[in-house]
Amino acid sequence: MSKRRLCILGGCGGIGRSLVAGALARGYDVTIMDLKAALAKHPAPPSTHSIEIDGADEASVARAFATVSSRWGALDGFVNAAGFLIEKHSLAETSTNEFDVTIEGNLRTTFLACKAAMALLEKGDAPSLVNIASGLGAYIRPQYGPYAAAKAAMIALTKTLALEHAPRVRANAVGPGPVDTAFLRGGTGRSDENGALTIDVDAFGALIPLKRIAVPDDVLGPVMFLLGEDSRYMTGQTLWVNGGAYMP
CA distance 15 to 108: 20
Q: Which pLDDT does position 40 carry in this prediction? A: 96
Domain ranges for the chain, please list them: 5-241
**What is the radius of gyration, based on Cα positions, of the chain?**
17
Walk across the sheet containing 5-9 and list its strands.
49-52, 29-34, 5-9, 77-80, 128-132, 170-176, 238-241
Distance of CA 190 to the CA centre of its chain: 15
Q: What is the pLDDT of residues 76-99, one digit of tens each?
A: 999 999 999 888 899 999 999 999
Q: What is the CATH number of domain 5-241?
A: 3.40.50.720
Q: Which pLDDT does position 195 carry in this prediction? A: 57
Q: Which pLDDT does position 87 carry in this prediction? A: 86
Q: Which pLDDT does position 185 carry in this prediction? A: 52
H-helix or E-strand spanning residue 201:
helix 201-206
Closest-CA residue to 120 (of 72, 87, 162)? 72
Q: Write out residues in the chain with pLDDT < 70, as ranges.
A: 1, 183-199
Query: Does the annotation mark 139 as catalytic?
Result: no
- The C-alpha torsion from 245 through 246 and 247 to 248, rounded to 10°, is 180
Q: Which pLDDT does position 13 carry in this prediction? A: 94
DSSP bridge partners of 239: 174
Q: Where are the alpha helices (DSSP H) in the chain?
A: 14-25, 36-41, 58-72, 96-103, 109-121, 145-165, 201-206, 216-227
Q: Which pLDDT does position 191 carry in this prediction? A: 47
CA distance 117 to 105: 17
CA distance 239 to 132: 10
The residue type found at 221 is G
Helix, strand and coil in the chain, % to nearest 5: 45, 15, 40
Among 139, 144, 147, 233, which one carries the catalytic annotation? 147
In this structure, the number of other CB atoms found within 10 A of the CB of residue 204 comes to 15
Predicted TM-score of the model (pTM): 0.92
